[in-house]
Amino acid sequence: MKALAFPEKRFILIPLRSFNEIYQHTYRGVTMSNVCEICGKKKVQGARIIRRGLAKKKGGIGMHVVKVTPRTFEPNIQSVRVDDNGTTKRMKVCTACIRSGRVKKVC
C-alpha cells in the first residue's frame, strides 16, 4: 500500500497496481500485449553466440565461444479483423495461426 498526502493533511491508502495493470494495457477490452490471442505465442529469451577460431575439420584447434549476448525472439503478431460467430472484432494473431487457418478473416 502507498500513502498519498492531501492538502488537509489526511492520508488514504490506495493499493499498488498489479503486474497485469502495469504491463498489459487494454484498449476497448483488447489486451495490448504482444501475445497471440489464439495460441498464446509470445517473446522468448535467447542468445547470440560469437565464436572465433578455425574449425578442427579445417585444420585448426577448434571454435571457441568468446561472447554470448542476450536477446529476445519476438513473434510476428498482426492485428487482423476476425469473424467471431457472426460478429467482427479485432484480434492480435501470429502469422502461423493466420496461415494455418485457425482464424477466419473478414473479407
Task: Give the three cell numbers for residue 22.
Answer: 502495469
In the predicted model, what is the mean pLDDT of residues 23-51?
78
What average pLDDT score do residues 2-31 get? 53
Q: What pLDDT sits at residue 84?
A: 84
Q: Where are the alpha helices (DSSP H) in 3-91?
A: 19-23
User: What mean pLDDT comes out for the span 64-77?
Assistant: 94
Which residue in this structure is represented by grid cell 585444420?
Answer: 59
| CB 69 within 8 Å of CB 47 | yes
Cα–Cα distance list, 58 to 8, 52, 53, 63, 65 (Å):
80, 13, 10, 11, 17
Q: What is the pTM of this model?
A: 0.58
Q: What percentage of the chain carries pLDDT values higher than 70?
A: 70
5 vs 102: which has the higher pLDDT: 102
- Which residues, including other chains, have CB under 8 Å from residue 35's CB and lie 6 or more apart? 41, 42, 75, 77, 92
